[in-house]
Structure 1
Amino acid sequence: MTRTYGATDSSPGEKFKDSQFLVFMNRILAFTVAGLYCAVSKQPRHGAPMYKYSFASLSNILSSWCQYEALKFISFPTQVLAKASKVIPVMLMGKLVSSKSYEYWEYLTAVLISIGVSMFLLSNSTGKHPSTVTTFSGLVILAGYIVFDSFTSNWQDSLFKYKMSSVQMMFGVNLFSCLFTMGSLLEQGALFESVRFMARHPEFAVHAALLSVCSAFGQLFIFYTINRFGAAVFTIIMTLRQAFAILLSCLIYGHAVSLVGGLGVAVVFLALFLRVYARSRMKKRSRKAVLSEAPVQKV
């Protein structure tokens, strides 16, 4: 959306401004890919009511809107703290949506990861984002983003109880996303204008298609992760992704990592170590319990 298309010596060109159309293209391609895959490959018997997909789709759209809208009213540190702390709301939402229970060490490691990622991101962003103003309306919208985003992954996680595949989930969610975004585009009169822009600039069509392909494949990994590991682990992965992306950039381009940033990385790795250690201890304990309960054969 920052690129100028059709620029010539006599014309300055024009920029594409409707982000909603890009979302629609992403969803329509993901819907098509998932539908074709379900058609040509054997899938589990579908048992989930179709309307239940609409909840995840609508909450995803609302969370995206709240996320971008909140940027106008909150400071950058507030954004970082909110995004880095999403693990805890996701776990709490899991208790509400699916009645999930978490061990105390899972809450502890979630807090440590949030603190570590916040330290690292804030320490490496000093001076780049001068805005320090956070309004009450911004906090309300930000809270909406956290609630809707937490609900989306947990609701998708709960739908997997119907023994569906991740591709079936992708198909159902994107079906309603296509309907919602198309309705919004038609209501605003932006759909046909965006199509005309695409016809005027074939290069834009290529870029939009490439973006949609990447988004579709990304969704495959997202739904597989939620299906295999749950919403909380998925959120931890997405939270760590932000920090590791910046850390990798620092290593590749030789940017210095501050002392606070280094401590943040250490806290994150400590939390991950504690998580792995606690999980392995629980597995050993459950294995011993199973062996002790096994009947002893008499000779």
Structure 2
Amino acid sequence: MATGEEIAPALQDSWGDFWLFRFFVNAAGYASIVVPGFLLIQYFKRRNYLETGRGICFPVIKSCVFGSEVKSVHQDDGSLPPRAEPTESSTARQVFKLFCCAAGLQASYLTWGVLQERVMTRTYGATETDPGEKFKDSQFLVFMNRILAFTVAGLYCALTKQPRHGAPMYKYSFASLSNILSSWCQYEALKYISFPTQVLAKASKVIPVMMMGKLVSRKSYEYWEYLTAALISVGVSMFLLSSAPNRTVSTVTTFSGIVLLAGYIIFDSFTSNWQDALFTYKMSPVQMMFGVNVFSCLFTVGSLLEQGALLESMRFMARHSEFTAHAVLLSVCSACGQLFIFYTINQFGAAVFTIIMTLRQAFAILLSCLIYGHTVTVVGGLGIAVVFMALFLRVYARSRMKKRSKKLPLGETPVQKV
């Protein structure tokens, strides 16, 4: 009897910590906000509230449900202001800006990656007699990141001139929900796989994107896109297979990590595609950042309060000041990194930004191996090199294709890319 009473709470705790159980609990919390919101939106639309509504709440409901402007004609990167081409007289200034952007992106996201692995895989409060405890609630970390990003984006919009906003606010909730789930999967995956494996999986998400484009959108691709996708697949396979004999994790753990990475890629792909569709409204990237993070804060804080996890996480912060510092710095790096992304793309274009972030992924793997002692075999190192060589080749080939497409006669259109 005593043994049974001791085992039951242990089993309950293990089920409570299992990622699939927590995923459904979190999803139920989001549904408790999404479903009433959906019903309210349908109610206002059926009542034709835009023509019949009056009163003090009318501007708020109109902004949230209907918006205020029609869509603009969507073009590639049309949401961004035109990028000024550097002149010879400002070459030194442009080089300095590029250096600052690269340094800001590297510092923000390398620090973010190191802290992410520290928070999710190491214990806090360990002593000679006490093994310490791990922080388990990934959703709280997502909330911390989003609340600071919301604050930074709000201040930026308030202090700088922005386009008049016209999108219905509720449309941000779709990107927000998928963004929350992708971030949650990313944090949870670190409990089951190593950080280098996660980085390589994120770098290789171009493969499922191409497959989805081929099956769903009937897109066609150039030969170099198939070549680089094949090289990425080969490189990732080399890394994973060479690391397998040295692993001590179980098959279930490995499978959980793969499922969570797949969830991250699926949700993240939806987020980027939905945001691209939202940019057909006249808005700036910082307005997008603000709108998405408004709903992210609403969803995460609502779910945390329903589960009682917000107070539990706050108590963990009170017990471990080191965790508090890590969580705050993690949020600061995430928010600053987003601003650096917008500024870099605006000033230098997507190709330069992609090169910087590809280098960041390589540096992140190196830092993780040095700090946390991950071992990489010679074959695994070659696999990493193949992946990043393919990514750089992809950036180079795409830039060449863009230059060629500008020279095409009217009436000819280049092949669609991902």
Same fold (TM over 0.5): yes
- Measured in 1, the distance between the counterparts of 2:287 and 2:368 equals 36
- Measured in 1, the distance between the counterparts of 2:290 and 2:322 equals 28
What's the CA shift for 1:21?
2.0
1:133 aligns with 2:251: yes
Q: 1:88 corresponds to which residue? A: 207
1:108 aligns with 2:230: no
Q: 1:177 corresponds to which residue? A: 296
1:53 to 149, 172, 175: 172
What's the CA shift for 1:58?
0.8
Is contact 2:196-2:368 (8 Å) kept? no
- Measured in 2, the distance between the counterparts of 1:81 and 1:141 equals 14
Change (3 A) 1:137 1:288: closer
- Percent identity for Structure 1 against Structure 2: 71
1:229 aligns with 2:347: no
1:193 aligns with 2:312: yes
What's the CA shift for 1:277?
4.0
Unmatched 5+ stretches in structure 2: 1-118, 411-418
Q: Which moved more, 1:172-181 or 1:276-285?
A: 276-285
Q: 1:148 corresponds to which residue? A: 267
Is contact 2:189-2:260 (8 Å) kept? yes
Q: 1:219 corresponds to which residue? A: 338
Change (3 A) 1:110 1:237: farther
Q: Which moved more, 1:142-151 or 1:28-37?
A: 142-151
Deviations 1:168-203, CA, capped at 9 Å, x for gaps: 111111111111110111011122233344445555
Match of 1:108, as an amino acid? Answer: L
Is contact 2:232-2:386 (8 Å) kept? no
Change (3 A) 1:133 1:32: same
Listed as ranges, the matches of 1:1-299 within 5 Å are: 1=119, 2-5=122-125, 16-67=135-186, 82-93=201-212, 102-120=221-239, 123=242, 125=243, 127-131=245-249, 133=251, 138=256, 143-199=262-318, 202-222=321-341, 229=350, 241-247=360-366, 258-259=378-379, 261-262=381-382, 265-266=385-386, 268-269=388-389, 272-273=392-393, 275-277=395-397, 279-281=399-401, 283-284=403-404, 286-287=406-407, 289=409
SS at match of 1:162: coil
Change (3 A) 1:257 1:81: closer
What's the CA shift for 1:70?
6.2
Q: 2:18 corresponds to which residue? A: none
Deviations 1:181-231, CA, capped at 9 Å, x for gaps: 10111011122233344445555433322221112112334566788639x
What's the CA shift for 1:55?
0.9
What's the CA shift for 1:142?
5.1
Match of 2:293, as an amino acid? Answer: N
- Measured in 2, the distance between the counterparts of 1:180 and 1:197 equals 21
Change (3 A) 1:11 1:246: closer
Change (3 A) 1:177 1:18: same
Match of 1:269, as an amino acid? Answer: M
Deviations 1:110-158, CA, capped at 9 Å, x for gaps: 33234334434654x4554233625998466654433222212222233
- Measured in 1, the distance between the counterparts of 2:170 and 2:305 equals 22
Unmatched 5+ stretches in structure 1: 291-299
RMSD: 4.6
- Measured in 1, the distance between the counterparts of 2:151 and 2:294 equals 9
Is contact 2:232-2:387 (8 Å) kept? yes
- Measured in 2, the distance between the counterparts of 1:211 and 1:43 equals 28
Is contact 1:75-1:134 (8 Å) kept? no
Match of 1:229, as an amino acid? Answer: A
Is contact 1:109-1:272 (8 Å) kept? no
Change (3 A) 1:170 1:118: farther
Is contact 2:238-2:379 (8 Å) kept? no
What's the CA shift for 1:52?
1.6
Structure 1 length-normalised TM: 0.71
- Measured in 1, the distance between the counterparts of 2:230 and 2:267 equals 20
